[in-house]
């Protein structure tokens, strides 16, 4: 069994619901391995450190536990996934300026960003794979597994928001 550290964010069924109303039920319903964030009315975030045989098992069981307690909750986001240069440096425990230099020197092999600008954004999984394969960085396997599952979940959630009638057209444009 490995430990997997990830955060799941949800919208509550009624945006007038107080997240505090669900804390005890979530704890009793299998989320006793999560730190539950209740900062914003109508939303709840759970930071799990869950033991499982795979990241998929850890994350999918956590989502199932939340939905068992709050059946009509809406999944918003799994993290870590979308990251800036500063986020990557913090996650890896390295200097941001050294990482910036590494990225600038290797721009041709760098994974495509999700957002390109002054503060570019990447999928963490793609950056971790690039750092491991291209730059021979030692990457925590559990972190990579979590990042890959979270990327897939977030992309799938976004894809579901696209009108089914135009999904095929959108696919052809994005290739």
The 10 Å Cβ neighbour count of residue 97 is 10
What gap in Å lies between CA 173 and CA 146, rounded to an integer?
A: 29
**pTM for this predicted structure:** 0.90
Q: What is the mean pLDDT of the chain?
A: 92
Which is more confident, 14 or 43?
43
Contacting residues for 172 by C-beta, under 8 A, at least 6 apart: none
Give the DSSP letter of residue 146.
H
**pLDDT tens per residue, range 28-87:** 999 999 999 988 888 999 999 999 999 999 999 999 999 999 999 999 999 999 999 999
Question: Do residues 58 and 49 make contact, with C-beta atoms less than 8 angstroms apart?
Answer: no
- H or E segment at 122? strand 122-123
Query: Do residues 82 and 158 touch, judged by C-beta distance below 8 A?
Result: no
Residue 135: the pLDDT is 77
In CATH, 2-79 is 3.30.70.3400: yes
Q: Residue 15 and residue 19: Cα distance in Å, rounded?
A: 9
In 113-143, which positions are buried (b, 16+ CB within 10 angstroms) versus exposed (e)?
A: ebeeeeeeebbbbbbbbbbeeeeeeebeebb
Query: 2: which DSSP letter?
Result: E
pLDDT at residue 109 in the model: 86
The reported pLDDT for the residue numbered 11 is 94
Match 């992309």 to its residue by tokens: 155
């Amino acid at each position: 069994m490995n430990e997997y550290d990830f955060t799941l964010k949800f919208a509550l069924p009624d945006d007038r619901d107080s997240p505090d109303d669900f804390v005890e039920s979530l704890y009793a319903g299998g989320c006793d391995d999560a730190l539950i964030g209740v900062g914003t009315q109508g939303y709840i975030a759970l930071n799990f450190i869950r033991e499982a045989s795979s990241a998929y098992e850890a994350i999918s069981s956590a989502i199932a536990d939340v939905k068992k307690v709050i059946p009509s909750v809406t999944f918003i986001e799994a993290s870590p996934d979308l990251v800036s240069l500063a986020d990557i440096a913090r996650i890896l425990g390295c200097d941001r300026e050294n990482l910036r230099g590494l990225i600038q020197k290797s721009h041709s092999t760098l994974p495509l960003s999700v957002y390109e600008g002054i503060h570019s954004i990447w999928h963490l999984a793609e950056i971790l794979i690039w750092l491991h394969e291209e730059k021979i960085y030692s990457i925590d396997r559990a972190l990579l597994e979590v990042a890959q599952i979270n990327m897939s979940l977030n992309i799938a959630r976004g894809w579901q928001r696209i009108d089914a009638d135009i999904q095929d057209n959108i696919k052809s444009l994005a290739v």
